[in-house]
Structure 1
Amino acid sequence: MINFLNQTKQPNTKYANNKRVFVYPLLCVIAAIFLVQCSSKDNGLPAGDPDNAGLFVPDGFEVVAVVDSLKGRARHLTVNTNGDIYVKLRFPNDEGGNAALRDTDNDGKADIIETFDDYIDRSSYGTEMRIHNGYLYFSSVTRIYRQKLTDQLVPDTELELILTDRQPPRQHDTKPIAFDNEGNLYTVYGAPSDVCQVDDRSPLSPGMFPCPILEDRAGVWKFDANKLNQFQEDGEKFATGLRSVVGMDWNHQDDNLYAVVHGRDYMHPTWPNKFTPWEGSVLPSEVFVRLKDGDDAGWPYHYYDQIKGDYFLNPEYGGDGEKQGEDVDQLTDPVVGFLGHFAPNDIMFYEGDQFPERYKNGAFIAFHGSTSSAPYPQTGYFIGFVPMENGIPTGPWEVFADGFAEQEIIKNTSDATYRPMGLAVGPDGSLYVSDSEKGKIWRIMYKGDKDEFGEAELAGMEERKRTASNIKTPVEFEDLVVKPNDEDDIYSDENVGEGGKLYNTYCSVCHQRNGLGNDRFPPLDDAEWILGDKTRLINVVLQGLRGEIFVHEKSYNNVMPKLDRLSDEEIAGILTYVRGSFGNKGSKITPEEVAKVRKTNETP
């Protein structure tokens, strides 16, 4: 063919037109074959972005960014049978708490984005978004709603209230949802405490025994998925010992409920006499568990150690890293124990057909990323995968997608550009991932040969699991990223003075060393709580703070432990440092001012 088209001899005019007639149809046939092959390979899927939208994935996969940002950012998401995407917004406002997205030209990008449903309770922990039996179910912190889906992008049907939590928003209230095959809905009542301490999150404070929180929190409850206007007492307690659960899913292959659980915080900062900084960074495990009726996952009395492979007593109840206590054999065995503080925020069993067969019935997990791994690197910020068959892992867990943080080493949570939050599968088997920081959404597609997919295609991700600082277990001392006398670190103890040293010891684990906070704890820069009323600020340190507050127009709902055991000089030093750092230009706070407030509080 090439020789025929490029011959230099002058053609015989008798046959010239015949040659053109022969060549052009042949070229058309070749082009058609090429297009059919491409169409067959891509299966009608849109092209991935040239850089895979910034992500690392196994060979053969492509990634397209559906949307770069959503105004209200994102929690969980779901995808309808026609490809429409519904997102639970992290920061609801008057325009609505949910977003609906539609791709009208099949290029993988959202062309229409609409917000809808202005409802009570705009706290930022409201999480769930699921489609079940033709209804769109979603949750705020204290309520679960549903709407009947129609052919409209934004449902024009009545907003129905399924469940109301009578208690006000508190820490670990997220209301994830799962459905079984019998018409039941499962949701979580989170523990409003870290480890059921007498003084929550306060150093050396003992745990309450028995823990009163276990009566009506720290567990999973089962409800009728179709009954309206239910309260907690209308449901049945299904499982207990669960401090914080943001992601649940029903495994239809083995017909069981599964959850990913956040372990307790601050092993070292709260108990420095019992646990080293390294142990505080890697423990306790974030566990992936199968839950059956009556199961107990151990909180608050026990934590799971993924290195030793067993449960141990929490220090609030006399533990020291070796004592296990009684009835450990009665606790729910994890399916997998992950590194501490990975923050698993969603789980999804893959039932699609697009991906290679090894992914079928396995569990994808979105690791949102740690906030309390210092002085070692913050960890998580990736999508993991557990290969499974009938609810049993068939191999070690894997890294499926990474690169969300866009940082080689994450010192402060705020360093991460994106944090993976939610997971969903589209009707064609594509995997969708949402982000809580900017509201970005990725669509991950497989374009390779499914029959040829194997270890070679996974090699790059296996290397990331072994070496990436946000995924591997850090080596004690060797992998420290926060060092007391690091002259190049502007926030090191060497460079911040006495008040800064105290801040790094008592405050930075939550508010971060750069003062910018994270999803759970508020930033300290240009905040009215910091630069406003001095008496109020001093009282926050002396008495602690709990309940919902707003900083920079964003909701935060956690616990600030009281630090009244610190001296007046130490508290004044911390607050003076905070009011003069992170871009703040507030005046000093003196020991005398602290003493005056302390005395006022002690006066009957």
Structure 2
Amino acid sequence: MKNSLGVLLGVLLIQILVVSCSESGKSTVLQIDTPIEEFFQLDQTTVGVSTISTGMDVPWEITWGPDNWIWYSQIKGEIGKINPGTGEKVIIHKLDSVYTRTTPGLLGIALHPDLENFPYLFALHNQKVSDEKIVLNISRFRIDGDRLTDQMVLLQIPGARGHNGSRIKVGADGLVYISSGEAARAEESQNVNDPGGKVLRMNIDGSIPDDNPFMDNPVWAWGFRNPQGLVLTEDGRIYTSDHGDATDDEVNFVQKGGNYGWPDVRGICDTEEEKVYCSDSVIIESMIHWTPTIAPAGIDYYNSKSIPEWNNSLLLTTLKGSSLRVLKLSEDGRSIVSEDIFFDHKYGRIRDLCISPEGDVYISTSNRDWYRTNTPEKDDDRIIRLFNISDKEIPDSVLEYKYRRNQDAEVVTVTAESLYSDFCSSCHKKDGKGVEGTFPPLSGTKTVLGESSNLINTVLKGVSGEIVVNGVTYNEHMPSFSFLKDDEIAKILTYVRSSFGNEASEVTEEEINAVRTSNEGGI
């Protein structure tokens, strides 16, 4: 497969022709020279990996435009586009009133598929309208060359410092679909009169389609928590990716009028409480779920012969999981039959992806966001291209990347450190320092170093509300971890009490069991 020709170059320049539409509507030919940084081998297809853009700042959405540029949103309020061949960036618009903190900001954007007749870009962006109120605006802009004009807010829904979702797409039916988070109001996910925790559906002017499940109501489906991925296929299928709480991140096949269970059902109906709930409620279970959580983000549908092994698959990016996942679908698209994992913790957090008409896949990293542990690297954030190079010669200087199939994953020994990484580090961070004002530290605090029973109760019951830690106020929401076994909780708490500069006694299984028993099922 390898050929020594071109070793002195160190890269292979793949030249392809892309048709690009100019502002005048005339077609021009754009030559793309893409240096291959590495490659990987599927069953029959060799896939090249190239970086097309660096130095970005938390791109939330990347989407392929009709001009064959990649349009993007950055969380700080910038909308722009990138030439995928040269890396040239053009800033289209800057929103001044965007509220950003951890995950709020400028989120999903979408282009109308028929820009000639409907020259619109749709965007989701948080705004703080008072000291206590945050909203999520669903806006429409008119595209005028390389700028946006005539902003119109189609709908304003509750927002929050987290759990906003969200993605926006325009379907083949010309209607607008939005995946909204419940804005940290879990109970509203089951309220069909509240737009939070839903998939919404509306006309491009914000009016409600006559065939929605509820009259004069944008709700299409409900029972979601924080869906950061949404895709519509050409034949009208809808899929979402949804962040779980402490367990059960999900991918869902969305149906009209469907209830996806949050907060009463997580993943599938498998606990005793969930079985009781599902016995008299119509709940649509997830297609796949992950515990420990992986923080699923952008999702897209691959339907191209360019990489045939991925045809009829959902491509999913993950943040905590730091990977691209290929979820092979059944023929009817209603179930997932296999999962392959690529770039596992190689590029850091991966936020979104898009697919070109030629079948090339582009992924974007999110290493400059609020998480920021051991990253960003100097080139972050970046957009990376994956494309078929099976008919090309690959010089010896280009290294092969080895990916893994999920079913081939090695059995990992469960340690206290790995349990902390799986269930705690996404908020409290790997070094236990937390995020000031958002997630409290675990170093030198009374809760951690005090009576072990108080710490155990905190873990078993969770926390919801305002707390003060080391003089800093946190509006804390920590879920209950009572689903963990006594020995797992004991390992985690002993690790916390003996790490990050802490020097406190270990926590035993017997102590966990005693506190659990004393709560008499109240947790």
* Residues 443-479 of structure 1, C-alpha deviations (whole Å, 9 max, x = no match): 21112159xxxxxxx9953x3534557xxxxx5xx52
Aligned to 1:138: 123
Amino acid at match of 2:202: F
Moved over 6 A (4+): 40-43, 55-58, 503-507, 580-584
* Residues 71-116 of structure 1, C-alpha deviations (whole Å, 9 max, x = no match): x3221211212232222223x1xxxx12424338x34x34556762
On the 8 A contact 2:317/2:353 being kept in 1, the answer is yes
SS at match of 1:510: helix
On the 8 A contact 2:362/2:385 being kept in 1, the answer is yes
> 1:346 Cα deviation (Å)?
1.5
Q: Gaps spanning 5+ residues in structure 2: where? A: 1-12, 19-29, 127-135, 369-380, 393-399, 444-457, 469-473, 481-492, 503-523
Q: Report the Cα distance in structure 2 between the residues aligned to 1:224 and 1:62, rounded to whole angstroms.
A: 40
> 1:303 Cα deviation (Å)?
2.4
Aligned to 1:293: 256
On the 8 A contact 2:16/2:32 being kept in 1, the answer is no
1:182 to 173, 185, 189: 173
Aligned to 1:8: none
Q: Report the Cα distance in structure 1 between the residues aligned to 2:415 and 2:138, rounded to whole angstroms.
A: 42
Change in 2 beyond 3 A, CA 1:558/1:224: farther
* Residues 203-233 of structure 1, C-alpha deviations (whole Å, 9 max, x = no match): xxxxxxx987565233222222233899x99
Answering whether residue 293 of structure 2 is matched by residue 341 of structure 1, we say yes
Q: Gaps spanning 5+ residues in structure 1: where? A: 1-36, 197-209, 267-283, 306-310, 370-378, 407-416, 451-457, 470-474, 484-488, 493-502, 527-540, 550-555, 563-573, 585-604
Aligned to 1:401: 342
Answering whether residue 461 of structure 2 is matched by residue 559 of structure 1, we say no
On the 8 A contact 2:222/2:260 being kept in 1, the answer is yes
Change in 2 beyond 3 A, CA 1:233/1:86: farther
Q: Report the Cα distance in structure 2 between the residues aligned to 1:327 and 1:180, rounded to whole angstroms.
A: 34
Q: Report the Cα distance in structure 1 between the residues aligned to 2:160 and 2:416, rounded to whole angstroms.
A: 34
Q: Report the Cα distance in structure 1 between the residues aligned to 2:111 and 2:285, rounded to whole angstroms.
A: 30
* Residues 162-219 of structure 1, C-alpha deviations (whole Å, 9 max, x = no match): 2211x342531123123333332222342344865xxxxxxxxxxxxx9875652332
> 1:38 Cα deviation (Å)?
7.2
Q: Report the Cα distance in structure 1 between the residues aligned to 2:329 and 2:435, rounded to whole angstroms.
A: 31
On the 8 A contact 1:82/1:427 being kept in 2, the answer is no
Change in 2 beyond 3 A, CA 1:219/1:467: same
Aligned to 1:362: 313
Aligned to 2:160: 169
Aligned to 2:145: 151
Between structures 1 and 2, the one with greater helix share: 1
For residues 155-554 of structure 1, what are the structure 2 equivalents within 5 Å? 155-165=147-157, 167-193=158-184, 196=187, 215-216=193-194, 217-227=196-206, 235-253=217-235, 255-265=236-246, 284=248, 286-305=249-268, 311-313=269-271, 318=273, 323-327=275-279, 330-352=282-304, 355-369=306-320, 379=321, 381-387=323-329, 389-392=331-334, 396-399=337-340, 401-403=342-344, 405-406=345-346, 418-438=348-368, 439-449=381-391, 460-461=402-403, 463-468=404-409, 475=411, 479-482=413-416, 510-517=427-434, 522=439, 524=441
SS at match of 2:166: coil
> 1:335 Cα deviation (Å)?
3.4
On the 8 A contact 1:188/1:220 being kept in 2, the answer is yes
On the 8 A contact 1:147/1:157 being kept in 2, the answer is yes
Q: Report the Cα distance in structure 1 between the residues aligned to 2:390 and 2:150, rounded to whole angstroms.
A: 44
* Residues 559-603 of structure 1, C-alpha deviations (whole Å, 9 max, x = no match): 2579xxxxxxxxxxx9xx99x99699xxxxxxxxxxxxxxxxxxx
Change in 2 beyond 3 A, CA 1:338/1:87: same
> 1:294 Cα deviation (Å)?
1.5
> 1:150 Cα deviation (Å)?
3.7
On the 8 A contact 1:218/1:244 being kept in 2, the answer is yes
Change in 2 beyond 3 A, CA 1:435/1:518: farther
On the 8 A contact 2:351/2:365 being kept in 1, the answer is yes
What is the RMSD computed on CA atoms of the aligned residues? 4.9
Q: Report the Cα distance in structure 2 between the residues aligned to 1:57 and 1:41, rounded to whole angstroms.
A: 25
1:86 to 62, 68, 71: 71
Q: Report the Cα distance in structure 2 between the residues aligned to 1:137 and 1:169, rounded to whole angstroms.
A: 20
> 1:287 Cα deviation (Å)?
2.8
> 1:433 Cα deviation (Å)?
1.0
Amino acid at match of 2:416: V
On the 8 A contact 2:139/2:155 being kept in 1, the answer is yes
Between structures 1 and 2, the one with greater strand share: 2
SS at match of 1:397: strand
TM-score, normalisation: structure 2:
0.63
- Which of these two proteins has the greater Rg computed from alpha carbons? 1
Change in 2 beyond 3 A, CA 1:174/1:329: closer
TM-score, normalisation: structure 1:
0.56
On the 8 A contact 1:525/1:583 being kept in 2, the answer is no
> 1:245 Cα deviation (Å)?
0.9
SS at match of 1:244: coil
Aligned to 1:117: 95
On the 8 A contact 2:323/2:350 being kept in 1, the answer is yes
